[in-house]
Amino acid sequence: MNLRNVFLVLLMIFLTSSTIFGEGKKDTYFSYSITQKDKDIAKQDDTYFIDKDTFEINIKLNMNTGIYINISEYPTMYNRAKSGFDFAKLLSTDGAWMGGAEHNNNKDKNIFLQGDENRWQYWFISDNASRFNSIEKDGDLYIGKRIIENIYYTYYRADEKTLNIKDTDISKLYITITYVTHDSSYTTFKEHKTESFILVLN
């Protein structure tokens, strides 16, 4: 094989691998922003300062992918995210497809429940915008806007209640967002990226 043919073979391998890895990156794209009254809020270090009012979390993803989000007045999940906790393991626990406080089997395994976490919710980008208040296309990606007016307080299931942000004395919320892919039965998860930050409510 002459040098020209060797070069062509290597070029084909490079282009093929670039396509594969490029598609892989595309398939696991995730970013977020915080807005209030449709105005972007800038992050200072690890914190957003916002009014104690309705705010929006904007999630940019590929169609048919999703994120788990935990919004809590307690820092448990935030601290775990900062320490490199394996959220895929948490979410893959038997029966924990919502990864939330309603799954008491997690408490027995000492993986999730500590008595102070709020519910996890799964937000899924699809043609049906039921998980979001609106969905906009941005090139090959989609931005789902979720308006946050309430937080869901759960200190074990019996104490479950909804709190309106304006009506609470809560001054700080800890938010953890984990982008995962999973099998069709929602039992095995792969974590691609986790973001955690603090909202200070003025």
Task: Report residue 43 CA to chain centroid gap.
Answer: 17
pLDDT at 117: 52
Residue of 60, 59, 55, 61 whose CA lies nearest to 35 = 55
Quick one: pLDDT at residue 110?
Answer: 37
Contact between 77 and 166 under an 8 Å Cβ cutoff? The reply is no
- Tell me how far apart the alpha carbons of residues 199 and 202 are, in angstroms, rounded to a whole number: 9
Given pLDDT bands bounded at 50, 70 and 90, which one contains residue 102? very low
Query: Residue 180 above 90 pLDDT?
Result: no
Sequence spans of domains, the chain: 29-201
Distances (CA, A) of 69 to 35, 122, 177, 188: 16, 6, 4, 17
Q: What pTM value is reported for the model?
A: 0.74
